[in-house]
A and B are shown apart, each in its own frame.
Chain A
Amino acid sequence: MEPVPAHPAKTANSAAQALRLDTALALLRQAGQPEPAAVAGSPAYLQALIDQLVDLSSRDALTGLFNRRNFELALAREVDRVARSGESALLLMVDIDHFKRVNDTHGHAAGDLVIRAVGQALTDSVRPMDLVARIGGEEYAVLLPNCPAAFGPQVAKRVRQRVAGSTVRLPEGTALAVTVSVGGAFAPQWVRSTPGIWLQRADLQLYRAKAEGRDRVCLEHSAAPEVSRQERDMLLGGQKIQDPE
């Protein structure tokens, strides 16, 4: 049983105290967010506080971009939407090239600057409706809803060039050139699918971009993978006799 408050006028305040909001408020202060303007403990106050905390928990502290948690939520929603509408949606996976070298040579503070600058370059190179997230150390994801297949290569190229064309100036004056590798895949349209399948395909392309020398874009052109010569040969290996060659 909750104790009945003696003074109704003080209810809101004592409820707020009973909620132990100290840590939440400290986190928001640290993130530069003002305490909600409504009467402390009132429903409006608590709603505003929850909204701020939700925003805080969806973002990456270093870059202010969406974090992995929010990205996964958005990706699941997009898979769902694309299955219903048949719209074309593109997922780009972006990874900073040789990031370890930056950290090793110039220190972690320089690394943080690079991570922030790349995040900014990514945000600047896509539409406001696109979602840019930092999903790992030096790895980002860009989710582009309603992106026709024909635009994919252009968008991915713009993202890559934007990063390559900017330099990161360190406090001591050094200008760092940074490049990224980009892998991308379009969402499977109409069919029952999972975010994991889409992510894996985009990741595979990122892996290709890295393997082919970095600072480049690899896109899966259609959801229908081609059967390679190697695969065909292995598949029909037992039937070589029938081949005219």
Chain B
Amino acid sequence: MSDAHPPTHNRTGARITAVTSGKGGVGKTFVAANLAAALARAGQRVLVLDADLGLANLDVLLNLSARITLHDVFTGRATLDDALQPAPGGFSVLLAGSGLVEYSRMTPEVRDKLLDVIARVRPRFDQVLLDTGAGISDVVLFTVSLADEVLIVATPEPTSLTDAYATIKVLAATQTARPMRLLVNQAQRKGEGRAVHAQLQAVVDRFVNAERAMPLKLALVGEVPLDAAVRQSVQQRQLLMESLPGSPAAVAVAAAAGKLLPP
């Protein structure tokens, strides 16, 4: 069967992971940036691409200035090399800049330009994390479809769980099957990640897998505990992995990153 995008199997270069959540404010960007730092520490060449084209905030989290952005690459005002910035955690970022309203809806132009950027960064890194926007808009779903695998970030809160499930459901209903993983953020007690994962998988089995030839299985990459250190690092605009690497949340992120490393 034919495919509109270049095949992602037999690829050379980076593994592309879309970090997405459905609901906003669950720590998606925090997770992406700190996972990237942990992967970089493990020797991987990592890029975080801020794919939240309308409402980017990776620059805010990392205390970087979004002088040269994806938008400049899209319009030819800057080269890709100019736009790739080193981030504090030893990885690279490609920032989106904020308020690019023209990219908040999919057009053939946005599609082609993103595909082009992905094709050009892929050979240069081992891991590319796509920090997608919240929700399940055209742009978010398209961005997720570019990835080789999907990492869903959810908190144990009902709204986050529901939106995470809605995301899983729409991906299952519309996109090519790929490995799908779950990271539970802001766990209030030990083992809550496992419980949330079991709950989500049970609902997926009952309502999504019943209609599928190939059952969809979520893999749990870990739980990150609710930790005052996270809030502190975010407010100081520092990477947790850098500022408080011994904090429980940082240790948990590092453990999760271990599961994203190639075997």
Contact = CB atoms under 8 A, between A and B. Distances in A.
A242 B141 CA distance: 31
B106 A86 contact: yes
B81 interface: no
A192 B161 contact: no
Contact of B165 (A77, A188, A224, A227): A227
Interface stretch (B41-49, B199-207, B242-250): B199-207
A85 interface: yes
A78 B232 CA distance: 50
Determine the main DSSP class of A at the interface with B. helix
A86 B111 contact: yes
Given A83-B5, A225-B173, A234 B145 contact: no
B146 interface: yes
A199 B4 CA distance: 17
Contacts of B111: 84, 86, 190
B169 interface: yes
Contacts of B166: 224-227
B165 A191 contact: no
B102 interface: no
B106 A190 contact: yes
B165 A84 contact: no
Contacts of B4: 79-84, 192-193
A4 B151 CA distance: 66
Interface residues of B, number: 35
A189 interface: yes
Residue of B3, B111, B146, B174 most packed against chain A (CB within 10 A)? B174
Nearest to A190: B142
A188 B170 CA distance: 10
B164 to A, nearest CB: 9
B138 A204 contact: no
B138 A188 contact: no
Given A84-B108, A191-B141, A197 B203 contact: no
Contact of B142 (A79, A191, A196, A226): A191
A165 B243 CA distance: 74
B195 interface: yes
Interface string A137-161: 0000000000000000000000000
A11 interface: no
A196 B2 CA distance: 11
B101 interface: no
B106 A235 contact: no
Interface in B1-22: 1-5
B2 A232 contact: no
Interface string B188-210: 00000001000110110011000
Contacts of A228: 207
A64 B170 CA distance: 37
B108 A188 contact: no
A237 interface: yes
A200 interface: yes
A236 B161 contact: yes
A223 B174 CA distance: 7
B173 A201 contact: yes
Nearest to B158: A236
Contact of A194 (B170, B176, B203): B176
25 contacts: A81-B4, A83-B4, A84-B108, A188-B175, A189-B138, A190-B138, A191-B141, A191-B145, A191-B174, A191-B175, A192-B145, A192-B146, A192-B175, A194-B3, A197-B174, A200-B211, A224-B136, A226-B166, A227-B162, A227-B165, A234-B203, A235-B161, A235-B199, A235-B203, A238-B195
Given A192-B146, A239-B158, 7 more contacts: A190-B142, A192-B3, A192-B175, A193-B4, A200-B211, A223-B173, A235-B161
Interface of B: 1-5, 106-108, 111, 136, 138, 141-142, 144-146, 158, 161-162, 165-166, 169-170, 173-176, 195, 199-200, 202-203, 206-207, 211
Interface of A: 76-77, 79-86, 188-197, 200-201, 204, 223-228, 230-232, 234-239, 242
